[in-house]
Amino acid sequence: MRTDAQRNRTAILAAAAETFAEHGPKATTEQVAIRAGVAVGTVFRHFPTKDALLVAIMKESLQRLTELAANSTLFDFVSAVVDEAVRTRTVVAALAGPELDLGDALRGLTDEIARLLKQAKSAGEVRAAVRVDEVMALMTAAAQAAQLGGWSVGLRRRTLAIIFRGLAPG
């Protein structure tokens, strides 16, 4: 790949992340192009569809999160996912449903959640009966609602506290 092409690709990804974070997933491809200092055609040369572009930056997000899971507790990690969702305004769509094809990019995240859940159970912080899909569902729900509903940081914290309490034994 030519060096200018590589440079443009990077610029487009960065511009897309910023643009979608600001305006949500329905920001136009042209907005991204302008921000990247590039023509629309160039965006489509690198990403055949707008969805492909969305998927690309969502994968970056998921990658970041999955790495972050390495040294987190379950609770910290769920909080981090919600924060990231609010910040990027796109992960939400990824978690939401199969509208976009993320391939197995979600697999890594699910695996980490499973690991952290098991760990939390061992530490006696979560009931043994809690399943992974329930944690995923609650996390997704909080992330979506926080973003779409514009939850304040305080409400976010208090709401997550209630959820965590629901997972705890006793």
Q: From the CB of 130, what's the least distance to DNA, in Å?
A: 40
> Of the listed pieces 9-17, 50-58, 73-81, 128-136, which binds its own copies according to CB under 8 A?
128-136
Closer by beta carbon to its own copies, 67 or else 99: 99
Crossing angle (nearest 10°) for helices 105-122 and 132-148:
110
Alpha-carbon span 44 to 55, nearest angstrom: 14
Q: How many helices (H) and strands (E) does the chain have?
A: 9, 0
- Residue 70 DSSP class: G
Q: Rule CB under 7 A: which residues touch DNA? A: 1-5, 8, 26, 28-30, 37-42, 44-46, 48-51
61 is an interface residue for its own copies by CB under 8 A: no
- Residue 24 DSSP class: -
Closer by beta carbon to its own copies, 56 or else 138: 138
Closer by beta carbon to DNA, 101 or else 165: 101
For residue 3, count CB atoms less than 10 angstroms from its CB and return exposed for 0-12, middle for 13-18, buried for 19 or more.
exposed
Alpha-carbon span 50 to 52, nearest angstrom: 5
Alpha-carbon span 159 to 95, nearest angstrom: 19
Closer by beta carbon to its own copies, 37 or else 149: 149
# of chain residues touching its own copies (CB under 8 A): 29
- Residues at the interface with its own copies (CB under 8 A): 95-97, 130-131, 133-134, 137-138, 140-142, 144-146, 148-151, 155, 158-159, 162-167, 170
